Each structure stands twice: as C-alpha cells, then as structure tokens.
Chain A
Amino acid sequence: MGQSRNLLLEAVKIRRIEERIIEIYPSDLIQSPLHLSIGQEALAVGVCANLNQADQVFTSYRSHAYYIAKGGNLNRFFAELMGRSTGCCKGKGGSMHLADSSVNFMGTSAIVASTLPHAVGAAFANKFKGNSNLVVCIFGDGAADAGVYHESINFAALHKLPIIFVLEDNGLAVHTTKAQRQAFDLAKHASTYGLLSYNLEETHSPEVVANLMERVIRDVRTKEKAAWVRLKAFRYKEHVGTGDDFHVGYRSQAEYEAWMHLDPISSYRASANVEASINQEIEEAVNYGINSPFPTYEDLHKDVS
C-alpha cells in the first residue's frame, strides 16, 4: 500500500505543478508554447515507476509529467520554462525540449515521432555495450501516422532491442480524429512485427499502469524482445496552451466528464500537511526560476557544434 500511495501522490504533485503553470502563464514569465500533461499524469508516473535511474526515457513535446516522473530536477524545470540560464537546458530548450541527462531523461522533440529512432539507436547501443539499461520511448497515436514510426518498430523488433514503445492513445492528432487519419488498427498492426504487445484501457490510476509496466519490463528482460504498449489517454486541456477547449466541439465533453469521474488524481484530497508540502516545493522551484539570471549573448553562441 505504501508504494501505491506514493505513486498517486507523485501524480497529484505533477497535477499541482501543471496547475501552477496555468496560474503563472498569463504573467508571461513563461514565453513559449506549452503542452500540458493534465489528465495523463498517471501514465507518466506508472510508466516510470519501475524504471531504474540508468534506464533512459525519450518523449514527445508533451513531456512535463515524464520529466518529473523520471526524477528531473524541479527547480531547473521551472527555470527552463522561464528561459533562465539555470534551466535544465540553460534556457535553450523550454517546455518542448526538456532533458535532464543526470536522470537519463534523454530528450523531447517538437517534431512528432522524431524521438523514436533515437530511442532505437540508444537501445542498440545499450545492447552493444552489454549493459542492462532499458529504453522507453513515449509518443502519441498521431506519431503512428508517420513512416518513421514503422521504420523504428521494425528495426527494434528485427534486432530484438531492449526497448519499450509506449503509445499514448487519445485518438487525436492535435484536433484531427483517428477516423480521419488511420485506416489500420494500432494494436493489430504492431503485433505483426513480432514484438511483445500490450494494451491498457483503464489508465486512470498510476498503480494500474505501473503494474502493467512491471510485467512489460520483466518480459522485455526475460524474453529479450522489444515491446509495444498502448495506453488509453485523455488530454484534459487544449492541445497547446493552458485553456479548455471542449466548447469548440471537436471532442465530447461528456466523455471527458465520464473519464474524469474515474480519475483518482482529480478526486484526491490530500491532508493539509501534504498539500502544503507539495505547494512549498513548487513555490520554491517557481521562485528559483524567477530569481535566476537570464543567459547572455555569449551563451547564445555556446554549444552550437
């Protein structure tokens, strides 16, 4: 029970971080596109719950939850969003390009599907070097539209690489529905590559996701095959930005409400002490960002090549 409680609390903390970002955003302390993880915190916490620090994670631009769940530094997270030189990427990446190499959070890209081959290459290198590190690559169902998705899972399956592809399926590519984009069934298609494949519809709880991932990780290690996992996902906020967009009509508000009704993060009521402790950690990180220096002209030209 102790472990499950911690996972839920970690997901709640991520929700609070995202909510704090929504509060800050109108102040223009953060001047960049944002893709919030609200609604998908349980997936991130569950996916990362059983990973070791040496295991490597690559994600898309909707990466805040994974950055935190993998153990990325919170102070440097807020500093990065605010473009400060103390940010995890020295103010050059921002929300869409987060990385924390110290915890093997390896990079997040604003080009859909573009991190899949990096994950495959990293997994190949791990196998080449004979270490036991796993690579996890997270992307959305929109990524499955891209040719490089097929190219990547094909190579990983062919070479039996120690990699887990995690497809977060919210049925949308920005605002375009799956019916408008895909003539194939994701799970049936993936299964033809001969990799291990898994599907989870009920992803509200981080414990449930973590339990599945524990099995996936064990299978990848013992069966020495690549794995593909589909997790149903629900993005609560608009694709980019901090607002709600159910009123514009491209998706169903009733479906959202039914999903949220089962969301333990939304219904979670922490004790006053716990809430205060989370809020204090977040406020310290926000202030760390606000009080950090901006990069200089000299910094602009650093690390180009």
Chain B
Amino acid sequence: MSALKIFPEMTYAESILSCMNYAMHSNPNSILIGQGIGDHKGIFGTTTGLFETFGPSRIIESPIAEEMMTGFGLGNSLNGLYPIMTHIRADFSFVAMNQIVNLYAKYKYMYGGQFHPAGLIRLIVGRSWGQGAQHAQSPQSLFSHIPGIRVIMPYSSNTILEQYKNEIDRADRLVISLEHRNLYDIKFEIDANFSSELRDSRVEQVGTDVTIVATSIMVLESLRAAQFLIEKYHLSIEVIDMTSTSNPDVDIIFNSVKKTGRLIVADTSWSPYGVGAELARIICQKDPSVLRAPIRVIGMEHTPCPTGKILEDMFYPSVRTIVISILETCNIESQDLPDGESYRDYYRKFKGPF
C-alpha cells in the first residue's frame, strides 16, 4: 500500500493526490493540515478521500488561524510528526509569515541543531477568472530570500512526483511548494522511470541560440514559445525549468548561458528583487563575459493584480511576450508573432470560481 501510485498520464492535481496518499500510507507520522482539507472539494481534488480513510487525527481541519496552525505544524514536527500544510491561496501564507520566517526557518539554526523541524507547506498560486490582488500572488522570491527555507515550484506532474516523494521520504526539512492553480487540470505524460535523484533545475528542451530559465507555469509558456520559434524562425531555444528557486543548480544554468550567450528569465511573479534579478546576480558574479546580449526578465507588471479581465490580460506576460523578447535579444525583426491569446485560451477555459 505504501508505494507511490503512478499512471501513464496524470493531471497535476492527480499527481499531488497520489503524493498525499503516499505520504499518509508510507509514514504513519504524516498528517495533513489545512482549511477545508477534508471537505467535499478536497483542495481541488488533491486531498479527496483522505479524511474518510485516515480520519480527523491525521487529516486536521484548521481554524482560520494561519499563524497558529503554522506554529502548530512546527510543534508537531518537534515531536516527530511530519505535517503537510496547505493554503488554498499562497496569499494566505502571509498571515503566517511570523511563524514561517521567524520561527520555522530558524528553529534548527538558533538552537544549534538540537531540533530538526520539518514540513511541507503547499501554497496554491491563483491566476485568471478575477483572482485579483489577494488571490494571485506568487511569493517565491520572498521565501527564497530567507535562509532555512527550501522553495520549489513544480510545473508538471513529473516534478510534483519527484519532489514530493523525495521530501516525504526524507521528512527532515522545511519546504515551501508553490503549486499553480492553472496547472491543476493539465495532463502530463509520466516518465515511468521518473528520477529518484532530485533535480532542482532541469533542461526541459535543448537548444543553442537562447536560454530561457522559467518557473512554474512559465515553463509551459516558454516551451510553447520555443516551439513557435523553431517553426517560424528556425531558432533553437534551450528551456530550463528552475524547479527550486532557493536552490537552483547554478552549473546547469550557467553552462547553458555560456553555450547560448543569451538569457531570458520567465517568472510567475514581479521582477524587481525577483528570480530574474537573482539569476542576473549569479551570472554576473560568475562571469558576465559569457553574455552576448543583456539579460531580459519577464514577469508580471509591477502593480497589484487587477481583477477585471481586460486589465488582468495586460498584467500577465504571455507566450507572445516571450517570443517578442527572444526576437529582440537576437536582433531579429518580428514578422510573424503568435496569437497572444493562444495560451490564454486555456485560461479562458478556467471558469473558476476559485
């Protein structure tokens, strides 16, 4: 019963549910904590059926008390439990910032390694259907800034399975995972031999002209942009998934930029002080002479997320934004551009309500 269940094709949500089942079956000390964790919606299907199987002592319904429940998870882990906490929107974790930043991230260090706080905090990033200013933030930079927190942003079912299984098996550190709501219903083919070796950055497509380093759903956007560019412009794009923003594989990223001479960062959040800024720091401190063109960073417009559809479309970058950016960095005149709506068709299909 304790093996991780894998199918040839799994949606993102199904892969998370499979990992939650694995956590509960493989480790009797695993518990799930969250607001609505055991209700009929089961966190968009990622915890469905677990309450019925494991009951209220292991599937713990949380009061609307994010700070307390986060400290509660830390207290659980001091006594050997492995808490998996879910915030149905990443924005809600800001209420728990004190416990995450001041306590959880420092508990091992400030007591000289006497304690080994562990836990997986799942944060769901919203987008589209009017999620607005408080349901669409993507706080990878905030958390990656803090020593003591591992931050991951799985973009596919494969990365969910690989990363979550690894964390559940080791159960010895604090991990914050940003799951993207718009990935939940997307089906991925599962690599039957998915790696048991943890990869924090991975080359998803090999190329020679430009390197795109992307996070979360922007990996999919980047792969689509790369497909368009090879077909229309014969440009060869290397796409790297930055699975962990706190612990990127610097060698993989640097070697790719060294090969292509061009770096574009496509991130799900704001650019100032963000993932792109950090990658620019890494490349420039290592060897800026590998760059043949300035680094470009693509992210959300630097405003709060507006709710109305027209403004929201202006707020987010699209596959079209990425293509334009690549053509500009290669000094290629743009003749043919993808329909900016192409990927947004998917988002249009997302009819929420949440």
Contacts and interface: CB of A to CB of B under 8 A. Distances in A.
| A, B: real partners | yes
Interface of A: 56, 87-93, 97, 99-101, 106-107, 109, 111, 114-126, 128-129, 147-148, 151-152, 154-155, 158, 302-305
B113 A90 contact: yes
Given A111-B103, A151-B65, A305-B174, A117 B75 contact: yes
B112 A118 contact: no
B72 A117 contact: yes
Contacts of A302: 113
A120 B68 contact: yes
A125 B75 CA distance: 8
B109 A304 contact: yes
A107 B71 contact: no
Contacts, number: 135
Contacts of A117: 67-72, 74-75, 99
B98 A114 contact: yes
Interface stretch (B147-155, B256-264, B271-279, B305-313): B147-155
Interface of B: 31, 57, 63, 65, 67-81, 83, 98-99, 102-103, 107-115, 147-150, 173-174
A154 B70 CA distance: 15
B112 A114 contact: no
A124 B111 contact: no
Contacts of B74: 117-118, 121
Contact of A107 (B80, B115, B149): B115
A93 B103 contact: no
Contact of A122 (B68, B78, B149): B78
B115 A99 contact: yes
Contacts of B78: 106-107, 118, 121-122, 125
B199 to A, nearest CB: 18
B335 to A, nearest CB: 49
A129 B81 CA distance: 9
Contacts of B57: 128
A147 B109 contact: no
30 contacts: A88-B111, A89-B112, A90-B112, A92-B110, A92-B112, A93-B110, A97-B110, A99-B114, A111-B102, A111-B103, A114-B99, A114-B103, A116-B71, A117-B69, A117-B70, A118-B103, A120-B68, A120-B75, A121-B83, A122-B75, A124-B72, A125-B80, A129-B79, A129-B80, A151-B68, A158-B63, A304-B147, A305-B108, A305-B150, A305-B173
Nearest to A111: B102
A148 B147 contact: no
A148 B63 CA distance: 12
Closest 6 CB pairs of A and B: A121-B75, A117-B71, A90-B112, A125-B79, A151-B68, A303-B113
B110 A148 contact: no
| Most chain A CB inside 10 Å of its own CB: which residue of B63, B74, B78, B173 | B78
A126 B79 contact: yes
B135 to A, nearest CB: 22
A80 to B, nearest CB: 8
Given A89-B114, A152-B68, A304-B108, 19 more contacts: A93-B112, A99-B112, A99-B114, A101-B115, A106-B78, A114-B99, A117-B69, A118-B75, A120-B75, A121-B73, A121-B83, A122-B76, A124-B76, A148-B98, A154-B63, A155-B65, A302-B113, A304-B109, A305-B173
Contact of A148 (B67, B75, B107, B173): B67
A106 B71 CA distance: 13
Given A117-B71, A125-B81, A107 B76 contact: no
Contact of B65 (A87, A109, A126, A154): A154
Max count, chain B CB within 10 A of own CB: residue among A111, A114, A119, A305: A305
A88 B112 CA distance: 7
A303 B114 CA distance: 9
B112 A303 contact: yes
A189 B324 CA distance: 61
B111 A92 contact: yes
Contacts of A107: 78, 107, 111, 115
Nearest to B149: A305
B57 to A, nearest CB: 6
B102 A114 contact: yes
